[in-house]
Amino acid sequence: MTALPPRDHDADLMSDRVSARISPLPDPETLRVRRVHRAIADLRRGTPVILNGAAPLIVLGAETAGAAGLEDIAALAAGPACLLLASGRAETVTGVGATVIAVATPKGLLAPAFLRALADPTAEQMLGIHPKTVPVPVLADAAILLAKLARLLPAALVAPIAALDAARLRDLLVVEVGDVWAYPAIAATRLVRVAEASVPLEDAPDARIIAFRAPDAGIEHLAILVGRPEAAEAPLVRLHSECFTGDLLGSLRCDCGAQLRGAIARMAADGAGVLIYLAQEGRGIGLANKLRAYTMQDRGLDTIDANRALGWGADERNFMVAATMLEELGIPSIRLLTNNPDKVAAMTSCGIRVQTREEHAFAPNGVNNHYLDTKMRRFGHLLG
């Protein structure tokens, strides 16, 4: 057990977030949130969206680009299209290190194959292409964020649009750049309970599961309550990001399954606890991208460099989601079951008082040794 110095509770921050969460959204703001949801859905199915700001862009996910989406770009573009690649992937492809790189799209190539070859490092070949960089559009960072929110590869085909002429937009969605940037915080702070049930578990017979969802969103985050943690002064809490391969299949590549089951058993032994089960697979990059990262790891990269090779950051999770859930449960003070100092810092910055950090380590299994070593050396996890 590691004692932490007392922190002042940020009452104003908590009050603002709780008020925002329990108050009905004004109609205009509801529409703004729904537009980002729809933009995410459109990109996933290969439909372009219009990103409106200082210099409007038509945006199409590189991973889902098809003939229809490319036709929309050709019809609406007021200038040359370019492919945006996020940091890491951009450096691999072009040799240039920057947050976002814009790559020219040569004519005469099969565009979908070209886009995917440049966006996906697990592709079999690069088609013999030597990309040429071009100036980065003003709204490039927001376009990459939209692709990330859609859990697509962080790469997007974009082109400038001269004017937002409703008669020419082909019914494409227009989303404001400010709404895109605000979306992660709004989604995290507007969570509400949508369902609750008693679910006796093998290691914790007295357990309940509460599902949380942001308004107009389809993703649920879960709180697994063991005993009556809301009655404890500072119950054990574990922030656990979902891991399909480890939690469900028992994958040996990580320690997630052992951490999940170990946390629930420890909470039962302690008498109470909360496991916050976050829908943020692969440190927030999604299952498909995690599998791509595994492919890159099999080629010799560690966890961090594999994510970077895809264009993702080392950790894309939003722990404000967990803080909002704990506030809704009436649990402002916790003993955090983790080896990750970043989780302690995240909870504290979101207004949750972390009384102690409780160690939560499991021995290597012979397959995940390098993974755990990377956690310790490069993420700073306290495993030694």
Contact 357, 222 (CB under 8 A): no
Q: What is the pLDDT of residues 324-356, one digit of tens each?
A: 999 999 999 999 999 999 999 999 999 999 999
Of the pLDDT bands very low, low, confident and very high (cuts 50, 70, 90), residue 367 is: very high
What residue ranges define each of the domains in the chain, with the CATH number in brackets?
A: 27-183 (3.90.870.10), 191-280+317-378 (3.40.50.10990)
C-alpha dist (Å) from residue 383 to 38, 335, 355, 361: 42, 18, 20, 6
Bridge partners, residue 384, by sequence? none
Contact 84, 143 (CB under 8 A): yes
Q: Report the C-alpha gap between 194 and 32 in whole angstroms.
A: 22
Of the pLDDT bands very low, low, confident and very high (cuts 50, 70, 90), residue 113 is: confident
At 165 the pLDDT is 72
Give the count of beta carbons closer than 10 Å to the beta carbon of residue 17.
22
For residue 56, pLDDT beyond 80: yes
Range of weakest confidence among 61-75, 157-171, 218-232, 368-382: 157-171
Q: Report the C-alpha gap between 139 and 150 in whole angstroms.
A: 17
At 99 the pLDDT is 81
Of the pLDDT bands very low, low, confident and very high (cuts 50, 70, 90), residue 69 is: very high
Q: How many CA atoms lie within 13 A of 71 on its CB side?
A: 4
At 173 the pLDDT is 93
For residue 297, pLDDT beyond 90: yes
At 95 the pLDDT is 74
Range of weakest confidence among 69-78, 88-97, 173-182, 255-264: 88-97
For β-strands 333-337 and 353-358, DSSP reports them as parallel
For residue 219, pLDDT beyond 70: yes
Tokens of 310: 């895809």
Q: Cβ neighbours of residue 299 under 8 Å, at least 6 residues apart?
A: none
Tokens of 30: 């509801």
Q: What is the pLDDT of residues 184-212, one digit of tens each?
A: 988 898 899 999 999 999 999 999 999 99
At 104 the pLDDT is 85
For residue 308, pLDDT beyond 60: yes
Of the pLDDT bands very low, low, confident and very high (cuts 50, 70, 90), residue 126 is: low
pTM of the model: 0.87
Contact 131, 90 (CB under 8 A): no
DSSP-derived 3-state class of residue 111? helix
Closest by CA to 357, choosing from 366, 347, 367, is 347
For residue 22, pLDDT beyond 80: no
At 10 the pLDDT is 40
Say if residue 384 is exposed, middle or buried (CB neighbours under 10 Å; 0-12, 13-18, 19+). Answer: exposed
How is residue 88 annotated by DSSP? Answer: T
Q: Report the C-alpha gap between 140 and 147 in whole angstroms.
A: 11
Report the range out of 15-19, 48-52, 99-103, 121-125 with the highest average pLDDT. 48-52
C-alpha dist (Å) from residue 235 to 71, 119, 122, 268, 355: 56, 44, 43, 11, 10
At 355 the pLDDT is 95
Q: Report the C-alpha gap between 49 and 36 in whole angstroms.
A: 10
Tokens of 195: 């369902």
Say if residue 27 is exposed, middle or buried (CB neighbours under 10 Å; 0-12, 13-18, 19+). Answer: exposed
Please provide the average confidence, as pLDDT, over all residues in the chain. 87
Residues marked active site are found at 315, 317
Q: Which amino acid is at 149?
A: L
Q: Report the C-alpha gap between 73 and 19 in whole angstroms.
A: 41
DSSP-derived 3-state class of residue 116? helix
Bridge partners, residue 238, by sequence? 275
Measured in residues, the chain has a length of 384
At 105 the pLDDT is 80
Buried-exposed string 133-155: b where 16+ CB fall within 10 A, e elsewhere: beebbebbbbbbbbbbbbbbbbb
For residue 109, pLDDT beyond 70: no
